[in-house]
């Protein structure tokens, strides 16, 4: 059971979070411009990294925000969370 | 609120289920079903804008995430960086804010009937909650003003500690549909210490 | 049984922890015994002597108590009877209570006369791997033989029995947090807890025994010139008084997991037995999140192997010391102790003091002089350079053989017979590094101490102290414990400075190093006679390890699987290291080159009850009730679970059959008016200027044209183009929409929207809020529905002109603010009335009073299926596109949306995919089975060509017969064909392929 440091709520049990798989899979701006293979790569293919892996999580049962986390898939060590845009940062938050 | 439609409360007296008092010390845990809520969901991406929106009508500024502030007009829970819930003491304030929040940087939605509040108080209140809550409820980690949206067993709730009373008093917000399950669960969890149940009796919102 | 003749008289150094004023009666295998408060079941039984109380797993040889704690391999018992019964508990860890009832496991028909002992006499044909070679091998009909013999083998080999009756006890679960978790309450653990507590840390000290103290409980040690247990009592006094320290007694830490999460099982009511106070749980599972962890788990003594070392009366040396010192039990008059290290000297002294004749065979040529002299002065016969090479007896020890051991481990000449009825063996100490192993740390071989030590886990926030870290003397345990507790507190951010206490211990003069020794018999062919066991619980002998080596199963993993070494409920606590070392000797490698055992949770077995906690019965899973639940329950509703929701499936009137009720409800909606509780439908409030952009991206159809006051149906797909939800979304105001979702997907859809809004399209100004539970929803449908709703006190104009199909209106109904959607899932004119949830019951009652017939989800299913309306998750399964369902009309060609590009992939674009069709069974009385496979020719030679399956199938009162929806390969091009639907048992039903719409195809009724 990981203890995940939500960038907004602080350390919480893994059970409060949802797992969103590999991070940085951007939706292609113009899907029609892609070949079938390129589209399939976006939809279906993910790396299966052994070691440090950047993934996304969502604090479903907490603040509801998505964030990124680098986790070592061998040791489960995980580092600081990264945030997505769209919410203004604040000094004391 | 409604003239001809009677308001019902799922934790109203008499509630079939657990006995109202039991266990070694019936004061160890006191469960109280709070009256129906007047509750607004507030969304805003900019905390300053939210503060501006609430300043005059409510007189409260936003707390940090997972904290709550309160005054005579209401309790403002900060659930996420862009997400608040405001418990209003009366409907007029809620109506004013709903109208103001129909457009602009703050989205206000009436979610009054979607949630109910249960008070969990007494010397063993922490122990009862810790049976399902994985957040740390120790006074050092969860001082007065804490308000964590969290997973309670398999039910999402907001656990708040609004005053620094000792023995502690916790306020648990639970979705209406889960309220009876949570109530029965809490009573069952409190059996080993003893408890008193105070279902809701009388008076609509 | 002839009385507790081995209970020592009251004495200053023995029996310090039992209360002789509180005798407790109990029964074992049907016989009556008496022990004392403070006893374990094992100590109370040992007071009657080392009689056989178990049988070996494979050879069914008699077995007695071997250890004192978690390491016990033999004395597994079945505790209590009926629903409370628990199998395979270690008698050494069961606290005695009055009226306790226990029995042996793994003896058939009884422990005294075990028929399976024949296995021992036949053992030449039962070597390691026998079962698999014989029954599973490649021989003729091998699999058949296994099937024939398996039940018999399982019965012969099984341990305890799982209870058949429900468990009447309660089990609790508790989450806890601390700065420092100290595992183990011996001198190192107590010292660590004190150090951490003094710094102001939040501390949890978990100790598995009835009282903390660890090795000090033997009562023969002193600290600061006073009994060491006085120091323990003072330490516990301080810890118990500290506000942020929790001392968990009787609590075994079962597992250690990521980020210093630990699980532990506390025995709460169990020690009272069936008469425990009603409010107490039997066990409590602790889930502890610690910033730092100190492992002060001690060490397990290990035996060395010799012939017949499984005979009742052969015990671990230090276990004998504890029974004598702690429980005043010495199950013999003449003790022979075999050792290769210093620790057995304390046992020897204590037994001599208790009046036993003691022979101590020390394998070392030169035992430490101070220890040997003290022992000799106490009357112990110390034999240097000697080992116990065999035990004579059978059902109990009747003598021992002691011989000189040569440097290579062989016995020199003929061993000497020594009179003995108790044999203690001490082959060294294995640090209890199980919990460190749970964190994935490979232990490190310590050559000097001949043991595996835990790896350095400082980086993970885990430290070890005391015997768990290899400490051999008390002063080191106290010292290391203090340092570990202090460091853990500091690392957890507790910076208060404290002074280290200076404690004087009775460790005495320096001892001598261990002489590694693993086995002394059976290595010579012919041997001294008798099996020498390495793993007592799994009946693995020295010979088995040698056989494994010969057959080239040389790595630890192969050794384990081939011989079953370490695979018992004790996970080889006394066996593993010895097994590795013996394999090393066989193959000329040091033990760590053979490998290390990976211990996995739990440290000791955890009963299922403790894991289940109170998640059983009515509290098994959260239940969600709609506002109208009480009415449903009082009016004959049969509920079905939809996720956690309780939804009325149908309402039975009087003695009505369920099928008749469904029929009646369908007819009511078709012919008059029905009302359904639709409160569970997901409702998402969407606000902001970019809602329409969002809708355009997540739905397959166009949303630009939706006007305020109107609603539209939409399909949602994943990027693979497959449908995952559908629903109606209404525009309430310019920038304000209400999206509805299926009941089961409400949270999923909100999460889907949030994911896109947060991670991909943060520029979209949209707020999404779940309002599912803010409203109670009553759907009124049927030809009489308009008359009925028009009769409600409301400011809404219900006429078709003012309120057409697919429109939404807000107003008041019965004085409550209401949102009403004119949408239809039944095919009839239909209004979904939403009022604040607390008002739901009153609205519902008004509709019932107005004459509406309540209908449940099954009638709804029939009604919608007659119309060919799909249910996501029934007509779809994650492989179905809108086109497959014939819903291309809901797919925009003008805009991009999630999943659109996938429709150009060759597989999704192909014209002969499975299509949604209707099926009419040729025999109209047939109801085709849902899930039934569709084939052209049921008589086809297998493999039969599968064409699809039935997705929904009902009996329709409107059609007066069965009908179905199905996904059929190339179905739209097969209208009128006859296909066959395989029954779930055997046979097939012919059915005609028709369009997936059976009722009112032009939709006139719902628009009317």
**CA–CA gap between residue C274 and residue B81 (Å, rounded):** 52
Residue-level pLDDT at C425: 98
Number of C-beta neighbours around residue C141 at 10 A: 9
Closest residue in C to A74 (Cα) is: C440
Residue C118 has pLDDT above 80, yes or no: no
Does residue B49 sit in helix, strand or coil?
A: helix
Task: Give the pLDDT mean for C717-743.
Answer: 97
Residue-level pLDDT at C679: 98
Of C258, C751, C754, the CB nearest to A1: C258
Q: Does residue B183 lie within any of the structural domains?
A: yes
What residue spans define the domains of chain A? 3-27+38-83
B82 in A contact zone (CB under 8 Å): yes
Same domain flag for B31 and B46: no
> Mutation test of the interface with chain A: which of B42, B45, B62, B66, choosing the one with the most A Cβ atoms within 10 A?
B66
CB-based contact C583:C621 (threshold 8 Å): no
**Cα separations in angstroms, A61 against B115, B184, C758:** 15, 21, 16
CB-based contact C847:C786 (threshold 8 Å): no
> Mutation test of the interface with chain B: which of A18, A91, A93, choosing the one with the most B Cβ atoms within 10 A?
A93
Nearest to B180 by CA among C161, C685, C797, C633: C633
pLDDT tens digits for range B27-38: 999 999 999 999
Q: Give the closest-approach CA distance of B63 to chain A in angstroms.
A: 8
Q: Do C816 and B112 touch (CB under 8 A)?
A: no
Same domain flag for B127 and B179: yes
Task: For domain C905-1007, give the CATH number.
Answer: 2.40.30.110
Same domain flag for B142 and B167: yes
**More confident of the two residues C258 and C59:** C258
C501 in A contact zone (CB under 8 Å): no
Same domain flag for B93 and B146: no
CB-based contact C400:C521 (threshold 8 Å): no
Query: DSSP strand E in chain B: where?
Result: 21-22, 29-33, 39-43, 67-71, 74-80, 83-88, 107-110, 115-121, 146-152, 155-161, 169-175, 195-198
**CA–CA gap between residue C452 and residue C596 (Å, rounded):** 8
Residue-level pLDDT at B19: 86
Q: Categorise residue C836: left if φ over 0, alpha if ψ from -120 to 50, beta otherwise.
A: beta
Residue-level pLDDT at B17: 75
**Cα separations in angstroms, C445 against C373, C450, C577, C597, C766:** 32, 7, 10, 12, 61
pTM for the whole thing?
Answer: 0.94
Nearest to C134 by CA among C148, C118, C120: C148
Nearest to C318 by CA among C334, C333, C297, C337: C337
**CA–CA gap between residue C556 and residue C293 (Å, rounded):** 29
DSSP code of residue C274? G
Task: Give the pLDDT mean for C713-731.
Answer: 98
Helix (H) or strand (E) holding C779: strand C775-781
Residue C522 has pLDDT above 50, yes or no: no
**CA–CA gap between residue C365 and residue C888 (Å, rounded):** 91
Nearest to C35 by CA among C25, C27, C50, C49: C25
Domain that holds residue B60: 39-112
Q: Is B113 exposed, middle or buried (0-12, 13-18, 19+ CB in 10 A)?
A: buried
Q: Which of B97, B112, B127 is the last residue of a domain?
A: B112
DSSP code of residue C41? H
Please check whether the domain covering A3-27+38-83 is classified as CATH 3.30.2270.10. Answer: yes
Query: DSSP strand E in C587-722: where?
Result: 637-642, 645-651, 674-677, 682-687, 711-717
A87 in B contact zone (CB under 8 Å): yes
B185 in C contact zone (CB under 8 Å): yes
Residue-level pLDDT at B50: 96
pLDDT band at C114 (very low <50, low <70, confident <90, very high): low
Strand partners, C964: C919, C953
What residue spans define the domains of chain C? 171-299+431-491, 677-855, 905-1007
Closest residue in C to A36 (Cα) is: C905
Residue-level pLDDT at C131: 57
**CA–CA gap between residue C851 and residue C741 (Å, rounded):** 29
CB-based contact B31:B122 (threshold 8 Å): no
CATH number at residue B134: 3.30.1360.120
Residue C149 has pLDDT above 80, yes or no: no
Strand partners, C268: none
Residue-level pLDDT at B204: 45
pLDDT band at C127 (very low <50, low <70, confident <90, very high): low
Residue-level pLDDT at C147: 61
B180 in C contact zone (CB under 8 Å): yes
Nearest to C856 by CA among C618, C1004, C642, C683: C642
Instruction: Extract the tokens encoding B13.
Output: 């007296």
Task: Give the pLDDT mean for B90-95.
Answer: 94
pLDDT tens digits for range C484-516: 999 999 999 998 888 888 999 999 888 899 999
B131-135, B163-167, C149-153 — most confident range: B131-135
Report the domain count for chain B.
Answer: 2
**Cα separations in angstroms, C602 against C438, C575, C606, C699:** 9, 17, 7, 48
Instruction: Extract the tokens encoding A25.
Output: 């899979």
Neighbours of chain A (3+ CB pairs under 8 A): B, C
**CA–CA gap between residue C947 and residue B130 (Å, rounded):** 53
For residue C228, report the phi and psi dihedrals to the nearest 5 degrees. -60, -30
Helix (H) or strand (E) holding C549: helix C542-550
Q: Which of B112, B131, B153 is the last residue of a domain?
A: B112
Q: Do A64 and C754 touch (CB under 8 A)?
A: yes
Same domain flag for B187 and B124: yes
Q: Give the closest-approach CA distance of B73 to chain C in angstroms.
A: 22
Q: Does residue B205 lie within any of the structural domains?
A: no
pLDDT tens digits for range C529-569: 789 999 999 999 999 999 999 999 988 889 999 999 998 88
Residue C34 has pLDDT above 90, yes or no: yes
Task: Give the pLDDT mean for B158-187.
Answer: 96
Does residue C643 sit in helix, strand or coil?
A: coil
Neighbours of chain B (3+ CB pairs under 8 A): A, C
**Which of 13-72 (B) contact C at CB < 8 A?**
23-24, 36, 41, 43
CB-based contact C194:C485 (threshold 8 Å): yes
**Low-confidence residues in chain A, pLDDT < 70:** 86, 88-93
pLDDT band at B89 (very low <50, low <70, confident <90, very high): very high
Of C281, C775, C839, the CB nearest to B2: C839
Per-position DSSP letters for C654-691, written without gaps between them: TT--HHHHHHHHHHHHHHS-EEEE-TTSEEEEEESTTH
Per-position DSSP letters for C827-839, written without gaps between them: SS-EEEEEEEGGG
Number of helices followed by number of strands (H, E) in chain A: 1, 6
Q: Do C687 and B107 touch (CB under 8 A)?
A: yes
Q: Which of B112, B140, B167 is the last residue of a domain?
A: B112
Q: How far is CA C242 from the centre of its chain?
A: 33
**CA–CA gap between residue C468 and residue C453 (Å, rounded):** 8
Same domain flag for B140 and B158: yes
CB-based contact C459:C524 (threshold 8 Å): no
Q: Which residue has the tokens 């960038």?
A: A7
Residue-level pLDDT at C526: 46
**CA–CA gap between residue C509 and residue C488 (Å, rounded):** 32
* Cα maximum dimension of chain A: 48
**CA–CA gap between residue C523 and residue C538 (Å, rounded):** 20
Q: Give the closest-approach CA distance of B39 to chain C in angstroms.
A: 10
**CA–CA gap between residue B146 and residue B163 (Å, rounded):** 9
Neighbours of chain C (3+ CB pairs under 8 A): A, B
CATH architecture of C677-855: 2-Layer Sandwich (3.30)
Number of C-beta neighbours around residue C660 at 10 A: 13
Same domain flag for B142 and B73: no
Helix (H) or strand (E) holding C235: helix C228-241
B6 in C contact zone (CB under 8 Å): yes
- CATH class of the structural domain C171-299+431-491: alpha beta
Closest residue in C to B155 (Cα) is: C622
Strand partners, C89: C77
Task: Give the pLDDT mean for C779-807.
Answer: 97
């Amino acid at each position: 059971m990981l203890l995940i440091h939500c960038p907004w709520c602080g350390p919480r049990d893994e059970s409060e979070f949802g797992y969103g798989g590999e991070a940085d899979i951007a939706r292609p701006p113009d899907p029609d411009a892609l070949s079938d293979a390129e589209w399939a790569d976006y939809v279906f293919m993910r790396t299966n990294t052994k070691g440090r892996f950047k993934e996304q999580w969502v604090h479903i049962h907490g603040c509801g925000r998505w964030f990124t986390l680098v986790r070592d898939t061998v040791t489960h060590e995980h580092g600081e969370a990264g945030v997505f845009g769209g919410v203004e940062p604040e000094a004391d938050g | 609120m409604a003239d001809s439609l009677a308001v019902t409360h799922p934790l109203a007296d008499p509630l079939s289920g657990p006995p109202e008092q039991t266990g070694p010390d019936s004061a160890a845990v006191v469960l109280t079903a709070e009256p129906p809520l007047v509750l607004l969901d507030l969304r805003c991406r900019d905390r300053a804008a939210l503060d501006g929106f609430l300043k005059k009508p409510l007189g409260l500024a936003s707390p940090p995430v997972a904290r709550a502030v309160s005054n005579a007009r209401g309790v403002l829970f900060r659930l996420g960086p862009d997400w608040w819930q405001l418990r209003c003491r009366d409907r007029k304030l809620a109506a004013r804010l709903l109208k103001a929040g129909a457009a602009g940087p703050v989205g206000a939605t009436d979610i009054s009937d979607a949630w109910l509040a249960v008070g969990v108080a007494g010397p063993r209140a922490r122990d009862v909650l810790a049976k399902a809550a994985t957040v740390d409820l120790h006074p050092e980690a969860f001082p007065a003003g804490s308000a964590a949206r969290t997973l309670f067993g398999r039910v999402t709730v907001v656990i708040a500690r609004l005053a620094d009373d000792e023995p502690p008093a916790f306020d648990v917000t639970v979705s209406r549909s889960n309220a009876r399950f949570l109530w029965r669960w809490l009573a069952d969890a409190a059996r080993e210490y003893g408890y008193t149940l105070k279902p809701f009796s009388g008076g609509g919102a | 049984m002839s009385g507790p003749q081995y209970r020592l008289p009251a004495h200053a150094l023995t029996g310090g922890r039992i209360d002789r004023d509180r005798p407790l009666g109990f029964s074992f295998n049907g016989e009556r015994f008496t022990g004392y408060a403070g006893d374990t079941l094992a100590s109370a039984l040992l007071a009657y002597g080392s009689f056989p109380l178990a049988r070996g797993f494979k050879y069914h040889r008699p077995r007695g108590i071997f250890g004192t704690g978690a390491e016990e391999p033999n004395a597994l018992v079945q505790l209590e009877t009926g629903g409370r019964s628990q199998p395979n508990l270690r008698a050494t860890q069961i606290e005695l209570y009055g009226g306790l009832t226990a029995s042996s496991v793994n003896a058939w028909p009884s422990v005294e006369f075990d028929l399976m002992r024949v296995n021992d006499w036949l053992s030449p044909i039962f070597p390691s791997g026998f079962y698999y070679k014989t029954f599973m091998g490649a021989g003729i009909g091998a699999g058949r033989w296994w099937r024939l013999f398996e039940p018999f083998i399982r019965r012969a080999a099984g341990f305890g029995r799982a209870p058949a009756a429900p468990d009447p006890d309660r089990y609790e679960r508790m989450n806890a947090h601390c700065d420092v978790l100290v595992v183990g309450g011996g001198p190192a653990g107590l010292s660590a807890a004190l150090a951490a507590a003094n710094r102001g840390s939040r501390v949890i000290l978990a100790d598995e025994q009835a009282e903390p103290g660890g090795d000090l409980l033997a009562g023969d040690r002193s600290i600061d010139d006073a009994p060491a247990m006085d120091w323990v009592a003072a330490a516990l006094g301080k810890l118990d008084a500290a506000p942020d320290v929790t001392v968990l007694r009787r609590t075994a830490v079962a597992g250690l997991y990521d980020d210093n999460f630990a699980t532990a099982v506390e025995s709460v009511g169990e020690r009272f037995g069936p008469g425990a106070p009603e409010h107490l749980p039997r066990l409590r599972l602790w889930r502890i999140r610690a910033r730092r962890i100190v492992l002060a788990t001690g060490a397990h003594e290990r035996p060395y192997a010799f012939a017949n070392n499984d005979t009742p009366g052969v015990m671990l040396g230090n276990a004998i010391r504890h029974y004598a010192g702690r429980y005043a039990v010495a199950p013999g008059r003449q003790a022979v102790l075999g050792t290769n290290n210093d620790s057995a000297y304390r046992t020897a002294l204590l037994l001599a003091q208790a009046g036993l004749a003691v022979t101590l065979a020390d394998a070392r040529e030169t035992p430490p002089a101070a220890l040997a002299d003290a022992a000799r002065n106490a009357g112990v016969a110390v034999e240097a350079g000697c080992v116990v090479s065999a035990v004579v007896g059978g059902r109990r020890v009747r003598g021992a053989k002691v011989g000189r051991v040569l440097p290579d481990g062989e016995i020199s000449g003929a061993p000497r017979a020594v009179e003995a009825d108790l044999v203690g063996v001490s082959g060294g100490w294995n640090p209890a590094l199980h919990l460190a192993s749970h964190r994935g740390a490979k232990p490190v071989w310590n050559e000097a101490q001949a043991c595996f030590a835990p790896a350095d886990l400082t980086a993970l926030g885990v430290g070890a102290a005391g015997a768990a870290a290899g400490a051999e003397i008390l002063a080191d345990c106290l010292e290391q414990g203090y340092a570990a507790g202090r460091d853990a507190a500091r690392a957890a951010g507790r910076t208060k400075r404290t002074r280290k206490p200076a404690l004087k211990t009775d460790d005495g003069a320096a001892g001598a190093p261990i002489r590694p020794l693993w086995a002394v018999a059976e290595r010579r062919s012919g041997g001294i006679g008798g099996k020498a066991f390495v793993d007592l619980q799994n009946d693995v002998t020295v010979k088995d390890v040698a056989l494994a080596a010969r057959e080239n199963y040389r790595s630890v993993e192969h050794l384990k699987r081939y011989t079953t070494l370490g695979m018992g409920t004790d996970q080889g606590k006394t066996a593993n290291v010895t097994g590795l070392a013996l394999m090393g000797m066989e193959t000329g490698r040091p033990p760590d080159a053979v490998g290390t055992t990976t211990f996995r949770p739990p440290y000791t077995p955890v009963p299922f009850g403790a894991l289940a906690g109170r998640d059983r019965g009515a509290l098994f899973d959260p239940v969600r009730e709609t506002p109208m639940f009480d009415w449903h329950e009082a009016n004959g509703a049969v509920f079905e679970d939809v996720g956690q929701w309780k939804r009325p499936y149908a309402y039975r009137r009087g003695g009505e059959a369920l099928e008749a009720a469904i029929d009646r409800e369908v007819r009511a909606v078709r012919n008059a008016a029905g009302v359904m509780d639709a409160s569970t439908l997901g409702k998402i409030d969407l606000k902001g200027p970019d809602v329409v952009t969002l809708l355009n991206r997540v739905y397959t159809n166009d949303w630009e044209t939706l006007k305020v006051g109107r609603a539209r149906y939409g399909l949602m797909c994943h990027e693979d183009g497959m449908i995952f939800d559908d629903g109606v979304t209404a525009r309430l105001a310019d920038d304000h929409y209400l999206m509805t979702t299926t009941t089961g997907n409400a949270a999923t859809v909100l999460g889907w929207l949030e994911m896109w809004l947060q991670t991909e399209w943060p520029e979209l100004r949209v707020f999404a809020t779940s309002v599912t539970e803010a409203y109670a929803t009553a759907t009124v449908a049927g030809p009489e529905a308009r008359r009925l709703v028009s009769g409600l006190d409301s400011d809404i104009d219900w006429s078709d002109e003012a309120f057409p199909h697919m429109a939404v209106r807000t107003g008041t109904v019965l004085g409550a603010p209401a949102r009403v959607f004119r949408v239809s899932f039944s095919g009839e004119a239909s209004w979904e009335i939403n009022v604040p949830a607390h008002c739901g019951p009153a609205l519902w009652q008004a509709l019932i009073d107005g004459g509406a017939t309540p209908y449940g989800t099954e009638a709804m299913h029939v009604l919608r299926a007659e119309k060919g309306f799909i249910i996501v998750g029934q007509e779809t399964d994650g492989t179905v596109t809108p086109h497959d369902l014939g819903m291309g009309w809901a797919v925009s060609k003008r805009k991009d949306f999630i999943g659109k590009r996938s429709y150009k992939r060759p597989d999704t674009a192909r014209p002969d995919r499975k299509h949604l069709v209707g099926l009419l069974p040729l025999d109209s009385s047939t109801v085709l089975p849902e899930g039934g496979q569709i084939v052209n020719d049921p008589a086809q030679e297998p493999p039969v060509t599968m064409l699809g399956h039935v997705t929904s199938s009902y009996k329709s009162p409107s059609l007066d017969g069965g009908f179905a929806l199905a996904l059929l390969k190339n179905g739209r091009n097969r209208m009128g064909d006859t296909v066959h639907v395989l029954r779930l048992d055997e046979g097939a039903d012919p059915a005609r392929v028709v369009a997936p719409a059976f009722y009112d195809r032009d939709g006139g009724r719902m628009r009317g």
